[in-house]
Amino acid sequence: MDLLAAYGWTSYCAQQTPTQDPDGSIPARIVSEQRGLYQALTAQGELTVELSGRLRHEALSPQELPAVGDWVALRLAPDNQFGLILQVMPRKSRISRGAPGRTAQEQILAANVDTAFVVTTADKDFNPRRLERYLAVIWDGAARPVILINKIDLCADSAGLLAQAGLAFPGVDIHPISALQGQGLGPLSAYLKPERTCVMLGSSGVGKSTLLNRIIGKDVARLGAVRQADQRGRHTTTSRQMFILPSGGLLIDTPGLRELRLGKADDGLRRAFADIGSLSQRCRFRDCRHIDEPGCAVLAALQNGTLARSHYDNYLKLQKEQDYQRRREDPALEAQNKKRWKSIHKTMRSFDKLTRGEE
């Protein structure tokens, strides 16, 4: 029981821990996935589990399959050494990206996270436009973004970068750190609290695994050697994995992302470009696209220099990407999706009843 709480069950449910539901399934949290085999944490400990045939066949898109951080309903084999995932429980938050290919599918990188660390470095990787993309995705998934500027030991002017980031992202926590030398890590304990789940996202070689090792205090993750040519690692981390920290918090390490393709990130985009949103209220036309319309307040701000050109360009680019994603949506898929969630909520209620019955 206590073990489940340590994995964040209480903060996920804001309820007491259930034991078994009427069908004999138990709650478990996914810590990693590799080639169709999952590691799951249960009240009894960690074990290897697999998708039930039904879940595998009925999943309409990758986002319906378990992701690291997901809570699932598990049926244990009689010897308790193996389990089948029957259902994925509703996600409190998620980090999802548009999946490659022609469909409107999204891929879940991590589920039920409180904080998403966007790790970048105080060198070439630092790019406000890329950060905007990350923030949009994180906000859209209902998690809280925090920017970590790593490798400040390599940078002469980290204060300058920090000021630049602070201006570009008002209201977002930004911390300059050196994972290698252990500098600036103190403030991170505010996020890495018991039962809280954090995930690290960012390009390959920015030092995510180094940070994980530093926080845990031993080498749990393998690191990439820095290539001399471009100071980047070589995708050392190959799968997403959740770790329990000495503080009691949970931290998910992920492989470096080449590009973070947007899904249907409406809310996230609105938030990442809130300045353009508020300008647009003064556009003459309500459906102004801010491209060539007369009386456009956004274009006016561009002209008088109060709106940065690169920020605006990125807005148009991400908007376009999102429109594309939206056009690929499939109404039939959506209807089937709704049906699926009905049955999932039923299982949740049975967990619920049990909890109350226990009191």
Task: Select from Mg ion, ligand GTP, Zn ion, none the partner in contact with residue 206, using the beta carbon and a kind-dependent cut-off of 5 to 8 Å.
Answer: ligand GTP
What is the gyration radius of the CA atoms in the chain, in angstroms? 22
Residue selected from 17, 87, 93, 178 as contacting ligand GTP according to rule CB under 6 A = 178
Q: Contacts with ligand GTP in 118-157 (CB under 6 A)?
A: 150-151, 153-154
Beta carbon of residue 208, minimum distance to Mg ion (angstroms, whole number): 5
> Phi first, then psi: what are they for 304, rounded to 5°?
-90, 5
Report the residue from 143, 296, 302, 307 that binds Zn ion according to the rule CB under 5 A: 296
* Residue 296 interface partner, choices ligand GTP, Mg ion, Zn ion, none, CB cut-off 5-8 Å depending on type: Zn ion
Q: Show Cβ contacts of residue 141 under 8 Å, excluding neighbours closer than 6 positions.
A: 93, 94, 95, 96, 113, 116, 268
- Is 240 a binding residue for ligand GTP by CB under 6 A? The answer is no
Task: Name which of residues 60 to 119 contact Mg ion (CB under 5 A).
Answer: none
From the list ligand GTP, Zn ion, Mg ion, none, pick the one residue 32 interacts with, judged by a Cβ distance below 5 to 8 Å according to partner type. none
Could you give the angle at which helices 128-140 and 309-327 cross, rounded to 10 degrees? 40
The β-bridge partners of 239 are none
Here the tokens at position 304 are: 């008088």
**315: buried, middle or exposed (CB in 10 Å: 19+, 13-18, 0-12)?**
buried
| Closest to Mg ion by CB, 221 or 348 | 221
Least distance to ligand GTP, CB of residue 337, Å: 32
1 burial type by CB count under 10 A (0-12 exposed, 13-18 middle, 19+ buried): exposed
The answer to whether the Cα torsion of 128, 173, 146, 175 is positive or negative is positive
Interface with ligand GTP by CB under 6 A: which range of 26-34, 222-230, 261-269, 294-302?
222-230
Give the footprint of ligand GTP on this chain (CB under 6 A): 150-151, 153-154, 178-180, 204-210, 223-226, 233, 235-237, 255-256
What does the binding site for Zn ion look like in residue numbers (CB under 5 A)?
Answer: 283, 288, 290, 296, 298
